[in-house]
Amino acid sequence: MILYFNLTKLRLMNFYQVMTNVQLFLSQEDLETLKLKDAAKVFDEKYKAFDAAVQPMRGDVDTKELNKLDERRDKALIGLYGHVRVFTGFPEEAKATAAQQLQAILLKYDKAPQTKPLREETAIVSNVVSDLEVADAKAKLTLIGAEKWLDELKDANKKFEAAYNARTQRNMDLVGQTKEKRIALDDEYRRLAHTINALATLGGEAPYKRLMSSINADIQQALLAERPETKKKDPKEPKEPKQPKEPKEPKTPKDPKEPKQPDTPKDPKDPKQPEQPKKPDEKPKDPKKPDDGNPDIKLPEE
């Protein structure tokens, strides 16, 4: 089966090449047997209309004309700048002074306008010509014999600008026409692909296998060409070592704590006073005998 239907991602010339190849693949088949004669005919008509729209974009005649006019303009610029520069050191003071003043006008824009992109060069030259056509500047050019360079530069730049604008407009028209023809051909390709798939489903894939495989392979290559290229690494090339991580900055240490002051010692308790020693003349009490109690009490005799 044909697998690819959406070709909108293909760039213009890539799409053009795919459609050219599809037309070639169809021409190599027996379209009558495959029942594709009518479908292939309509596709061929759409392809030819698209091809006619693309043709002018291949060989751009206007570009060749622009290159000639640009070369002519560059020669006039180089000649004018060189002529003025030579006269800045001329022995006659009046001519040398005139050349120096003219050189200041030229250098105000650029030392070498011919090296700039086309549009930028056109703008610079237009301003240079405008400044040098002022009566005072033109008189100085005549004094040093450089007025012919200005005439040549003005004419070349004017013709270049006209040709450039004409090409821009023409290309805009071509882009519009090409886009319209591309959409028509793209739609017709989808119809053709669906027709081939339907016939292959009903009658078997075998007769259509070569045609379908060719179309699939070609479109696959075209789609791959649209992807950004990735540089393959050489397996022999050693891997780059990983960059070491930057060490973390050490944390700022906290202020050390002040040592605790020792507690003020408590006043020691008063030591117990030792018991007074017994007097030596006192007899110890007999634990078996009770206290005499009151000595004045007498016990009766038996």
Q: Which of 135, 161, 187 is the last residue of a domain?
A: 161
Compute the distance between CA of residue 31 and CA of residue 211 in angstroms, rounded to an integer. Answer: 11
pLDDT of residue 252: 58
**Are residue 99 and residue 142 in the same domain, yes or no?**
yes
Note whether residue 43 is domain-resident.
Answer: yes
Q: Is the per-residue pLDDT at 297 higher than 50?
A: no
Same-domain check for residues 78 and 157 = yes
- Note the pLDDT tens digit of each residue in 251-264: 655 555 555 665 55
Residues 185 and 49 in one domain: yes
User: Residue 188's pLDDT is what?
Assistant: 96
Q: How confident is the model at residue 4 (pLDDT cuts 50, 70, 90)?
A: very high
Give the pLDDT confidence score for residue 54 in this predicted structure.
87
Tell me the pTM. Answer: 0.48
Tell me if 185 sits within 8 A of 47, measured CB to CB.
Answer: yes
User: For 69-78, what is each residue's pLDDT tens digit?
Assistant: 999 999 999 9
Domain region containing 145: 61-161
Q: Are 138 and 148 in contact (CB under 8 A)?
A: no
Closest CA to 74 of 19, 42, 100, 113: 113
Q: Are residues 108 and 179 in the same domain?
A: no
From residue 77, how far is each of 84, 106, 290 by CA, in Å?
Answer: 11, 10, 153
pLDDT, position 270: 52
Q: Does residue 289 lie within any of the structural domains?
A: no
Q: Look at residues 225, 259, 275 and tell me which one is the last residue of a structural domain.
A: 225
**Residue 239 counted as domain residue:** no
Going by pLDDT thresholds of 50, 70 and 90, the confidence category of residue 226 is confident
174, two tokens:
């071509």
Amino acid at 143: L
- Say yes or no to pLDDT of 302 above 50: no
Q: How far apart are CA 180 and CA 190, in angstroms?
A: 16
Closest CA to 99 of 80, 115, 113: 80
**Pair (71, 215) in one structural domain:** no
Nearby residues of 46 by Cβ (< 8 Å), 6 or more positions away: 181, 184, 185, 188
Same domain, 56 and 66: no
pLDDT digits (tens, 9 = 90+) for 115-151: 999 889 999 999 999 999 999 999 999 999 999 999 9
Is 65 inside any structural domain? yes
> Contact, 177 vs 53, CB < 8 A?
yes
Average pLDDT, whole number, for the chain?
Answer: 83
> Are residues 171 and 151 part of one domain?
no
Is the pLDDT confidence value at 220 over 70?
A: yes
Min mean pLDDT across 103-107, 162-166, 193-197, 241-245 is at 241-245
Residue 260 lies in a domain: no
Q: Do residues 192 and 211 share a domain?
A: yes
Number of domains in the chain: 2
Question: Pick from 227, 208, 193: which is nearest to 5 by CA?
Answer: 193
- Give domain status of residue 251, yes or no: no
Regarding whether 214 and 76 lie in a shared domain, the answer is no
Buried-exposed string 165-178: b where 16+ CB fall within 10 A, e elsewhere: eebeeeeeebeebb
Tell whether 66 is covered by a domain: yes
Last residue of a domain, one of 204, 225, 246: 225
Q: Quick one: what percent of the chain has pLDDT higher than 70?
A: 73
By CB atoms closer than 10 A (0-12, 13-18, 19+), residue 56 is middle
Whether pLDDT at 218 is above 50? yes
Residue 53 shares a structural domain with residue 173: yes
As a whole-number percent, the residues of the chain with pLDDT over 90 amount to 61
243 domain-assigned:
no
Residues 72 and 217 grouped into a single domain:
no
| 33-48 residue pLDDT tens | 999 999 999 999 999 9
Same domain, 56 and 67: no
Distance (Å, rounded) from C-alpha 208 to C-alpha 214? 10
For residue 279, the number of C-alpha atoms closer than 13 Å in the C-beta half-sphere is 3
Give the closest residue to 123 by CA, choosing from 68, 59, 170, 73.
Answer: 73
**SS3 readout for 78-147:** HHHHHHHHHHCCCCCHHHHHHHHHHHHHHHCCCCCHHHCCHHHHHHHHHHHHHHHCCHHHHHHHHHHCCH
